[in-house]
A and B are shown apart, each in its own frame.
Chain A
């Protein structure tokens, strides 16, 4: 099973590597957000520092708050195409051919999940690095005010990984259950935007109305972003009602649920048709 999974993962990664346009496009969006949106929306210019920290739950600047949110944002947007690839493989008969071999459904599904999660994880760390680097270029940059030790780093990595796996599972589930690319993109857009706009990834927390804060506090993107902010910003620990592991646990619950749904749908799609 390990051999099958690796062979199928390698296939997915080779196809990704041979599609530089897709890689460039996925890089472009976060870079533009960091350079334009993050730089332009400068709360520090109009609010005193203490008020900024209050509105941003301990983040020193809006850009720092925003950069941590962007890592969650890219984990969602970079997984969008994973389900579309399933649909194309169905249309071109490739999935049928793979399903005709003795390869287990777990391998076929697992390989897509692994390959589909690698790109968003990579992008998320790229965003963090880029956001820190911008500060050295005379622009607003991500200011890490907490002492990031091994446990903090582990929690950040874990949050990004779980969030990527969760959305990869969600979009795989949709891909396995839909036949047409047009329908897929319509459904994904209907999910993608509301998920991001009901999260605390980009909005200053203090500016959000209470009802939106309530919704956002259950949003998986918010949970992941909170884990990152708690571990990056010194003032954040006191600003959040729960420790990072609590949010990690909630995020894990989301990922497990999505994974279960995707697994059921994959089994249905790859098993014998009735």
Chain B
């Protein structure tokens, strides 16, 4: 499929992209994927999975150790300047210039992207209104709320109407309302300008609800990809989790005999049963356990979700405890801003 998309002018095409830092730290270990024009493509993974490194390579900010990437048909390594002209980037950290007003930030972005002089004013005014920061257009960006800054950064990323928009953890640190608002603008703009959107996120619900297709990346490797529906279908239906009071190795074979259960797995002292209609099977599962003389601590039913998909394909839950998270980094930048802001 990757080759087909590249041949038909795929918006993004990565082949065996590898990034190794300091000769030994393999952040990305050979990812291959293609994104169709006009798609919203999600790169889903925990912190440290290799999402930002991949975005940096695709946006010509980081040289790949090996492999090839094209964006809008251009070789990222050889046609850096032209690639930059055709893409927009919204970074995970806040990059709006706090010492400039919202309007000045957009005018600067327009000049750097080469927006025709005659169009700058109308584009900037339009975007400011569109992003609902028109009233604050002439205020310094450092007085903006987190949501306003994010919308300003989105506006700066699309002021030149890019063909491909890269969003790296764009809603990090925003409250649910702010996240919903941000996505509303992204989807509207994508619809109007036929933009391709490549987004990295570790919010599963965001990937599930907003992306046409998703690649799940873990430890620098894509472990699964497809539409959210396809990925969930691969789970084989609902998941019923059975936690016995004391572990009983023989319970697995008992549960496999329950009609409707398609498979039984175990993880951390819990039996995970896949079945087409979990709700109606719960009474039979409980009866089977009681019949086998096994006391139950809990029984829970989960509909297919990307949490389950991630667990299924990686063998572990979403990790939030390894190394500094993106949120940690954002907080750290905030502390540096506070510490040094007054001295500038």
Q: Which residues of A contact B (CB under 8 A)?
A: 3-4, 6-8, 10-11, 14-15, 18-19, 22, 85, 88, 91-94, 96-104, 181, 272-274
**Known interface pairs A15-B99, A97-B91. Does A272 touch B344 (Cβ–Cβ under 8 Å)?**
no
How far apart sit A91 and B337, CA to CA, in the bound complex (Å)? 8
Partner of A98, one of B104, B112, B140, B336: B112
Give residues 131-173 of B contacting A (CB, 8 Å). Answer: 140, 156
Q: Which of A14, A19, A93 has the most CB atoms of chain B within a 10 A radius of its CB?
A: A93
Docked complex Cα distance between A10 and B107 (Å): 11
Q: How far is the CA of A88 from the CA of B100 in the complex (A)?
A: 15
Give the residue of B61, B99, B100, B117 whose beta carbon is less than 8 angstroms from that of A96: B61
Determine whether the beta carbon of A85 is less than 8 Å from that of B91.
no
Other than the known A7-B107, A11-B108, what 8 A-B pairs have Cβ atoms closer than 8 Å?
A7-B108, A8-B108, A91-B340, A93-B95, A94-B95, A96-B61, A100-B89, A101-B113
What residues of chain A lie closer than 8 Å to B85, measured between beta carbons? Answer: 102
Minimum-distance CB pairs A-B, first 7: A7-B111, A93-B95, A97-B95, A101-B112, A15-B99, A102-B84, A103-B112
Give chain B interface residues in 53-89, CB to chain A under 8 Å: 56, 59-63, 80-82, 84-85, 89
Point out the residue from A4, A85, A93 that lies within 8 Å of B112, measured CB to CB.
A4
Residues of B within 8 A of A (CB): 56, 59-63, 80-82, 84-85, 89, 91, 93-95, 97-100, 104, 107-109, 111-114, 117, 140, 156, 333, 336-337, 340, 344
Complexed CA–CA distance, A42 and B279 (Å) = 97
Check A94/B97 contact, CB under 8 A, given A102-B81, A102-B84: yes
User: A91 vs B335: C-alpha distance in the bound complex, in angstroms?
Assistant: 11
> Assuming A19-B344, A273-B63, is B99 touching A14 (CB within 8 A)?
yes
Query: What is the distance, in angstroms, from B322's C-beta to the closest C-beta of chain A?
Result: 23
Contact of A102 among B114, B333, B344 (CB under 8 A): B114
How far, in Å, is A109 (CB) from chain B's closest CB?
14
In the complex, A4→B160 CA distance in Å?
14
Q: Which of A14, A19, A91, A102 has the most CB of B within 10 A?
A: A102
CB-CB < 8 A to A7: which residues of B?
107-108, 111-112
CA separation between A102 and B61, bound complex, in Å? 11
Task: Tell me the smallest distance from the CB of B7 to a CB of chain A, in Å.
Answer: 27
Contacts of A103 in B (CB 8 A): 112
Shortest distance from the beta carbon of A121 to any chain B beta carbon, whole Å: 21
Report yes or no: B95 in contact with A272, Cβ–Cβ below 8 A.
no
Cβ-neighbour of B93 out of A93, A99, A102, A104 (below 8 A): A93
Contact in complex: A88, B344 (CB < 8 Å) = yes
Which one of B98, B100, B140, B344 has the greatest number of beta carbons of chain A within 10 Å? Answer: B344
A14/B344 in contact, CB under 8 A: no
A14/B61 contact (C-beta < 8 A), A101-B84, A102-B112 known = no
Question: What residues of chain A lie closer than 8 Å to B140, measured between beta carbons?
Answer: 18
Chain B residues positioned under 8 Å from A4 (CB to CB): 111-112
Given A15-B99, A18-B99, A93-B95, is A100 in contact with B104 using a C-beta cutoff of 8 Å? no
Contact A92 B344 (CB under 8 A): no
Minimum distance in angstroms from B327 CB to a CB of chain A: 15
A100 and B99 in contact, given A3-B111, A93-B91, A272-B80 (Cβ under 8 angstroms):
no
